[in-house]
Amino acid sequence: QVQLVESGGGSVQPGGSLRLSCAASGSTFSTYAMAWYRQAPGKQRELVARITSGGTRNYTDSVKGRFTISGDNAKNTVYLQMDSLRPEDTAVYYCNADGWVVGIYNTYWGQGTQVTVSS
């Protein structure tokens, strides 16, 4: 079982920055890919950024060049640095861990943290 706890959300003006943190229980990074998803009101949850155990990073097109995903293995924490924020980035952001363990696929979610970008 993996537990994920997000923090760092809040309100910011357009053009501002926030850094989200996701603290994971256990030795998560060697087993699971870590990702950030977001869900805006009335919209489906979408993948924002993902980092594999090997360090490969992927981003959705709308955040490329503005957001950076990174991980600290020693702290079992994954971060999402969000710069040049836009009103359309407003959403609840969720941390996710997914991967295969002894032939079984597992996926885990955090509780979510609200990000609001508004003037």
Question: pLDDT digit string (tens) for 42-70?
Answer: 999 999 999 998 899 999 999 999 999 99
pLDDT recorded at residue 27: 64
Strand ranges of the sheet holding 67-72, from the earlier edge strand across to the other edge: 4-7, 18-24, 77-82, 67-72
Helix-, strand-, coil-residue percentages of the chain, each rounded to 5 = 10, 55, 40
Tokens standing for residue 56: 């490969």
The 10s digit of each residue's pLDDT in 2-41 is: 899 999 999 999 999 999 999 998 767 778 999 999 999 9
Position with higher pLDDT, 81 vs 1: 81
**Residue whose pair of structure tokens reads 């924490």 in the numeric block:** 77
User: What's the one-letter identity of residue 90?
Assistant: T
Count H helices and E strands in the chain, helices first: 0, 11
Dist. CA 111–CA 95, nearest whole Å? 8
Position with higher pLDDT, 86 vs 25: 86
Residue 36, beta-bridge partner list? 49, 95
Tell me the average pLDDT across 87-101: 95
Choose the weakest-confidence range: 65-69, 72-76, 86-90: 72-76
